A and B are shown apart, each in its own frame.
Chain A
Amino acid sequence: MLVTTHYARARRRTGVFSAASALFLACAALVAGCNGSVSSGSSHRTNANPDTGSTRGPAGLGLYEPGTCSGSTPTVNRAPVRRISRLEYDHAVFDLFGETSSPAEKFVAEEKVAGFNSNTVTPPTALNAEQYLGAAETLSKCVVEGGAGCTTASYTTLSGCSGPTDAACTETYLKNLTRRAYRGTASPDDQQRIVGLYRDGQSIDANAGLELALQALLVSPHFLFIMEFGTGSSSVVPLSQPEIASRLALALWRSVPDQPLLDAADAGELGTAAQVETQARRMLADGTRSASMLGDFVEQWIGIERLQNVSYAAADYHADWPNGIDWPTLRNAMEHETLDFFTRATQNNGTLGQVLTADFTFGLSNELATLYGATAVDGPNVAADDRRFSLPANRRGLLMQASVLAAESHPTRPSPVLRGKLLRSALFCDPPSPPPPGVNQAIPDAKDTVGTSTSDLIAAHAKNPTCANCHQLIDPLGAAFNHFDAIGGYQETDNGGAVTTSGNFNSLGALSGSFTDAQDMVQKVVAQQSVVGQCYALQGFRYALGRAEGAGDACAIQQVYQRFADQQFSLEEVIVAITGSDAFRYRTQVTPGQSCQ
């Protein structure tokens, strides 16, 4: 995970991006006029030759086919019970106890479901229990007793009580804390259970009762799991308002609710889609909390969390950097640029098209600015993070940021295959099949093959029919970026060989035709924005709901997409639309003890 949990990447609404948005009014008007529908076929993509002339689109978007949404009554797919993620745990203990050390970073990592972290597949083990217990014991001791190495706030600060033996005050604090920790869904019994432990534990000593109460809270299934029951007994029922408050806090902040959100649930102000969306907008306006969520989304969506797992001897490429640089420093600068850029775009009325085609960026380190050949637009009187940079003509938008390019490269070469796979999966929701077993995937070191460009190497894919079936879907998209070396610097030649970047959009439905290079490609993606727009709406859905979509979600997703398109593909509007959708506010009803299906 790149995103730190104590909201260190807070972004203010500076309006700088919206000023920049004005530069794109002409483009925005063009986008608004685009009304392409996605033609899609009915069959899931197989390894059979896809170029049969059928009107197939990205297979992941079968939900958008005509006839998949008929209903006037809400339908939704089942939401399996989910255990909170490491990020959600760390944000919660920060919000509840001021804990800044991110204890959950050491927990077992989540699995990926539909591309995003989600603890819904493998049940927890004794090791998970051990980790939860250890964290709970450490946190409770730090809050109540303090001591060396503790990084929580003190009990008196958190509660306003004079100490653990201040019973009336403490019991009130514990009831409120339980409500907030359980994300609004605590029953009076749940609160009483925690208070009961506080009382019982005092038989051990004065602090033990309070420590036990806090521990019990932190290992409770109400905290560790998101359990939802809905209200009513038909097959699809509305979630209760506390359950909606819980979902809003998780989806928009990856944390627990604040008091205004809890109050809104109490007051019955989360009943309609409009009411939910009002809260969503309020919560997205909390720049600090939503920035952390947005960073968590983008690093998974566009794959830059993989930067932690790669390494480049940067000097191989840019030995002319004035003071030299080590890879971790350069990597941090790359991550910072992309998280900052995307968060800023979403929080300042930016659109998907702007993110993909922007001729500017923010907060570049000296090395990145040199790597890009970018010039600062704002002077030194503007804080470094807010400083806008103008990009040269050879670089545009999110996909040509060093972070994205470097996360999808080999040690000494760019990788059109990895980059193409990213685009196909993340932007078009049409992930390619993995390579067949036994295929030699070794990549020759650039030093051993001077004069051979990346284009030369992957030409073999097109010549071999077994390879070409899949690779014609992948390689052209990635090859468009061949002017960017392994760490994202611009190169005229590639390892001494010629750079070719032209290619075709293959089997992308309404997005068809050819492009000359990456800049041309992103312009065309945005010009036919329905394809990337439908996928982006789907990715946002998967992230916000923590599960894969299903047929029952088709209506909700189509409505979300329609709102997204109607609002010029505004990045904030799609999030709000998701929270107001039926999929967010309803659930399938189940019978305890019976199969969930």
Chain B
Amino acid sequence: MTARTSLNRRKFLVGAGATALSLPFLRALPSYAASGEDKRYLILAFTANGIVRHRWGVNVTGAGPSDFTFKDFLEPLTPLKSRVVVVDGLKNAAANGSHEAGFASLWSGFASQGQTSGGATIDQYLGAQLNAGTTYPTLEFMVRSPEDYQGKTVQTRMIYSAAGAPVDPRDDPDAALAALFSNVGGAAGAAPDPASVRLKAMRAKLFANVDADLAQSAARLCSEDKSHLDALRAGFATLNARYSAGPGVTGAACAKPNTVAGTLTGFALQSRRQMDLLAMSLACDFTRVASLQFSHALSPMVPRFLDINEAHHDISHQAPAYVPDFDNPDPQSLMQYAPAWDKLVKIGVYHAGEIAYLAQQLDQFPVGGGKTLLDQTTICWGSEIDNGALHDHDPAPFVLIGGGAGKLKSGGTFIRYPKDTRNHNDLLVTLAQIMGNTTTSYGDAALNHGPLTEILA
């Protein structure tokens, strides 16, 4: 029997890839300094197949509210502890016993039998409600493994703009870099570079042409068919508006991310690139609301870069669906299931490290008043399930990272709600209120009890 795997915390925090974001003494983000607006950011983050309960959460070390250390699964969050809130004990009452139902209801709070979401996810709602005038109402990112399902299904889609209407995430860092940052690069005051001028001139002609081309063809179609061409026409019109706007935020703080691969390849490299793109997208104020999924529900990912040659979902079923006490498994279970639990923890720690990296990148951007972009941000990290083998959603594990623009309790917080008292709808409402929205209910009304005031500042 092996002892608990010794984890090199630094490996996950620093990583092998340096980035252009890791520059010290950056100038404050000009958009902040100039406008004085209290800009708040939300990131919904997802990892798959649940947690290992007895190795997730905290070890209480004293009587004070912040007297704890993180257990294995969350250990990479240690340097960020003062801006972490671990929320245990919430129930996802909207989910009916499957990965799919958990995924479809995770950010929407609408009851799901596992076919689709019953309504818009909170990010889409907030993006529309905030109407912040940013280039993108929301941004959706995915780190995709080669084993992931390709289709647009309830297993792969986390974000819904409406009931039954999934939103596709960006899973290609090259395409995201090109699309998101095509207007970014020039230093303030410098003449635009010739390549950008040329691109802009060509796009002006191309957009005008494709709009006319689509209009002409659409006019010949019957209405259901026409709606498809109209949708593409609207899509190009959206791109046109984005790209023909000025260079947007300029200056050293908002720049094209340039992830240096170092020794990273495959999924691990893709993850770092997506983290850098997401962090810089917020720094450039492209959006206030974003989401990030690592793989998808029932993740079939085989994390060979962690020396694990089995699918994540398969390993989650090697762990037991039943032990006498999940918070404190008996020695027999510990011995029997150590291999499966150790693998799951290793995967969990990797993901915690990536989310910690994201948070630390956000922390590189000062916003004035001694604060950073991380202080203005709430990262809400959850999964579609609690115990992967049991397929339960009670309790549903959540971790919040960031300052929440001063609305989130600081200093480091762990809370465990008593069973059957609060649902995760209450957390969704809390996120909305942190973002300045006044809603008191989200998802299915009957599942709401109001915001989680215990975790608010």
Cβ-defined partner of A109 (8 Å) among B150, B223, B321 = B150
Cβ-defined partner of B235 (8 Å) among A126, A437, A443 = A126
Distance, CA A262 to CA B56, complexed state (A):
64
Collect the chain B residues with CB atoms within 8 Å of residue A309's CB: 147-149, 300
Collect the chain B residues with CB atoms within 8 Å of residue A227's CB: 217, 220-221, 225
Q: Is B310 part of the binding interface, using a Cβ–Cβ cutoff of 8 Å?
A: yes
Collect the chain A residues with CB atoms within 8 Å of residue B19's CB: none
Q: Is A382 part of the binding interface, using a Cβ–Cβ cutoff of 8 Å?
A: no
Distance, CA A205 to CA B205, complexed state (A):
13
Distance, CA A193 to CA B213, complexed state (A):
9
Distance, CA A224 to CA B230, complexed state (A):
13
B335 to chain A: closest CB distance in Å? 14
Contact call B198/A129, Cβ cutoff below 8 A:
no
Contact call A204/B228, Cβ cutoff below 8 A:
no
Contact call A122/B222, Cβ cutoff below 8 A:
no
Known: A205-B198, A411-B314. A127 touches B224 (CB 8 A): no
Collect the chain B residues with CB atoms within 8 Å of residue A204's CB: 198, 201-202
Q: Which residues 167-187 of B have a CB within 8 angstroms of A?
A: 167-168, 170-172, 175, 178-179
Collect the chain B residues with CB atoms within 8 Å of residue A313's CB: 309-310
Distance, CA A125 to CA B218, complexed state (A):
16
Contact call B151/A111, Cβ cutoff below 8 A:
yes
Distance, CA A443 to CA B388, complexed state (A):
12
Interface string of A194-211 (1 = CB under 8 A from B): 000100110011001001
Interface string of B206-230 (1 = CB under 8 A from A): 1001100110011111111111111
Known: A81-B229, A437-B98, A445-B318. A133 touches B213 (CB 8 A): no
Collect the chain B residues with CB atoms within 8 Å of residue A597's CB: 224
Contact call B202/A222, Cβ cutoff below 8 A:
no
Known: A124-B228, A310-B300. A592 touches B151 (CB 8 A): no
Cβ-defined partner of A1 (8 Å) among B113, B150, B224 = B150
Collect the chain A residues with CB atoms within 8 Å of residue B201's CB: 204, 208
Q: Is B133 part of the binding interface, using a Cβ–Cβ cutoff of 8 Å?
A: no
Which of A91-99, A212-220, A246-254, A334-342 contacts the other chain?
A: A212-220
Contact call B225/A81, Cβ cutoff below 8 A:
yes
Q: Which residues 109-126 of A have a CB within 8 angstroms of B?
A: 109-112, 122-126
Distance, CA A155 to CA B269, complexed state (A):
35
Distance, CA A537 to CA B441, complexed state (A):
52
Contact call A216/B213, Cβ cutoff below 8 A:
yes
Contact call B209/A311, Cβ cutoff below 8 A:
no
Q: Is A308 part of the binding interface, using a Cβ–Cβ cutoff of 8 Å?
A: yes
Contact call A80/B151, Cβ cutoff below 8 A:
no
Of chain B, the residue at the smallest CB distance from A216 is B209
Q: Is A43 part of the binding interface, using a Cβ–Cβ cutoff of 8 Å?
A: no
Known: A1-B150, A109-B150. A81 touches B239 (CB 8 A): no
Interface string of A415-454 (1 = CB under 8 A from B): 0000000000000000000000110111101000000000
Distance, CA A595 to CA B321, complexed state (A):
52
Residues of B in contact, count (CB < 8 Å):
64
Contact call A201/B309, Cβ cutoff below 8 A:
no
Q: Is B114 part of the binding interface, using a Cβ–Cβ cutoff of 8 Å?
A: yes
Collect the chain A residues with CB atoms within 8 Å of residue B218's CB: 221
Collect the chain B residues with CB atoms within 8 Å of residue A1's CB: 150
A488 to chain B: closest CB distance in Å? 17
Collect the chain B residues with CB atoms within 8 Å of residue A222's CB: 213, 217
Q: Is B18 part of the binding interface, using a Cβ–Cβ cutoff of 8 Å?
A: no
Collect the chain A residues with CB atoms within 8 Å of residue B10's CB: none
Q: Is A234 part of the binding interface, using a Cβ–Cβ cutoff of 8 Å?
A: no
Q: Is B391 part of the binding interface, using a Cβ–Cβ cutoff of 8 Å?
A: yes
Interface string of B136-176 (1 = CB under 8 A from A): 00000000001111111000000000000101101110010
Q: Which residues 210-243 of A have a CB within 8 angstroms of B?
A: 211-212, 215-216, 219-222, 224-225, 227, 229
Cβ-defined partner of A211 (8 Å) among B165, B178, B202 = B202
Contact call A212/B206, Cβ cutoff below 8 A:
yes
Collect the chain A residues with CB atoms within 8 Å of residue B311's CB: 310-311, 411
Of chain A, the residue at the smallest CB distance from B180 is A130
Cβ-defined partner of A129 (8 Å) among B167, B222, B238, B391 = B238
Interface string of B364-406 (1 = CB under 8 A from A): 0000000000000000000000000111000000000000000
Contact call A200/B205, Cβ cutoff below 8 A:
yes
Contact call A592/B175, Cβ cutoff below 8 A:
no
Distance, CA A130 to CA B241, complexed state (A):
12
Distance, CA A125 to CA B172, complexed state (A):
16
Cβ-defined partner of B113 (8 Å) among A200, A437, A441, A442 = A437
Chief secondary structure at chain A's binding surface: loop
Q: Is A42 part of the binding interface, using a Cβ–Cβ cutoff of 8 Å?
A: no
Cβ-defined partner of B97 (8 Å) among A81, A197, A216, A437 = A437
Q: Is A590 part of the binding interface, using a Cβ–Cβ cutoff of 8 Å?
A: yes
Known: A309-B147, A411-B314. A438 touches B235 (CB 8 A): no
Q: Is B232 part of the binding interface, using a Cβ–Cβ cutoff of 8 Å?
A: yes
Q: Is B317 part of the binding interface, using a Cβ–Cβ cutoff of 8 Å?
A: yes
Collect the chain A residues with CB atoms within 8 Å of residue B205's CB: 197, 200-201, 212
Cβ-defined partner of A123 (8 Å) among B97, B101, B231 = B231
Contact call B206/A215, Cβ cutoff below 8 A:
yes
Contact call B172/A106, Cβ cutoff below 8 A:
yes
Collect the chain B residues with CB atoms within 8 Å of residue A134's CB: 175, 178-179
Q: Is B94 part of the binding interface, using a Cβ–Cβ cutoff of 8 Å?
A: no
Collect the chain B residues with CB atoms within 8 Å of residue A593's CB: 219, 222-223, 226
Collect the chain B residues with CB atoms within 8 Å of residue A310's CB: 147, 300, 311
Q: Is B236 part of the binding interface, using a Cβ–Cβ cutoff of 8 Å?
A: yes
Contact call A83/B228, Cβ cutoff below 8 A:
yes
Contact call A596/B202, Cβ cutoff below 8 A:
no
Collect the chain A residues with CB atoms within 8 Å of residue B152's CB: 108-109, 111, 122
Contact call A212/B202, Cβ cutoff below 8 A:
yes
Of chain B, the residue at the smallest CB distance from A438 is B97
Distance, CA A517 to CA B167, complexed state (A):
45
Contact call A437/B209, Cβ cutoff below 8 A:
no
Contact call B239/A133, Cβ cutoff below 8 A:
yes
Distance, CA A134 to CA B181, complexed state (A):
13
Distance, CA A123 to CA B221, complexed state (A):
15
User: For A108, A111, A205, A326, which residue has the most chain B Cβ atoms within 10 angstroms?
Assistant: A108
Q: Is A323 part of the binding interface, using a Cβ–Cβ cutoff of 8 Å?
A: no
Of chain A, the residue at the smallest CB distance from B140 is A127
Q: Is B302 part of the binding interface, using a Cβ–Cβ cutoff of 8 Å?
A: yes
Contact call B151/A594, Cβ cutoff below 8 A:
no
B392 to chain A: closest CB distance in Å? 11
Distance, CA A82 to CA B221, complexed state (A):
12
Known: A133-B236, A216-B210, A225-B229. A438 touches B222 (CB 8 A): no
Contact call B231/A109, Cβ cutoff below 8 A:
no
A132 to chain B: closest CB distance in Å? 8
Collect the chain B residues with CB atoms within 8 Å of residue A200's CB: 205
Q: Which residues 4-29 of B have a CB within 8 angstroms of A?
A: none
A557 to chain B: closest CB distance in Å? 23
Collect the chain B residues with CB atoms within 8 Å of residue A332's CB: none
Known: A129-B238, A442-B391. A220 touches B210 (CB 8 A): yes
Cβ-defined partner of A596 (8 Å) among B150, B214, B222, B390 = B222
Collect the chain B residues with CB atoms within 8 Å of residue A73's CB: none
Contact call B149/A442, Cβ cutoff below 8 A:
no
| A-B residue pairs, 7 tightest by C-beta | A129-B235, A123-B231, A596-B222, A81-B225, A590-B222, A109-B150, A411-B314
Q: List 26 A-B contacts (CB under 8 A).
A: A1-B150, A106-B175, A109-B152, A110-B151, A112-B151, A128-B168, A130-B239, A201-B202, A204-B201, A212-B206, A216-B210, A221-B214, A224-B232, A225-B228, A309-B148, A311-B302, A313-B310, A437-B96, A437-B98, A437-B113, A441-B98, A442-B391, A443-B317, A445-B318, A590-B221, A592-B220
B interface, CB within 8 angstroms of A: 96-98, 101, 113-114, 146-152, 165, 167-168, 170-172, 175, 178-179, 198, 201-202, 205-206, 209-210, 213-214, 217-232, 234-236, 238-239, 300, 302, 309-311, 314, 317-318, 321, 389-391
Q: Apart from A126-B238, A222-B217, what 11 extra A-B contacts exist at CB < 8 Å?
A: A81-B221, A110-B151, A125-B235, A128-B168, A208-B201, A212-B205, A216-B210, A216-B213, A222-B213, A411-B317, A438-B97
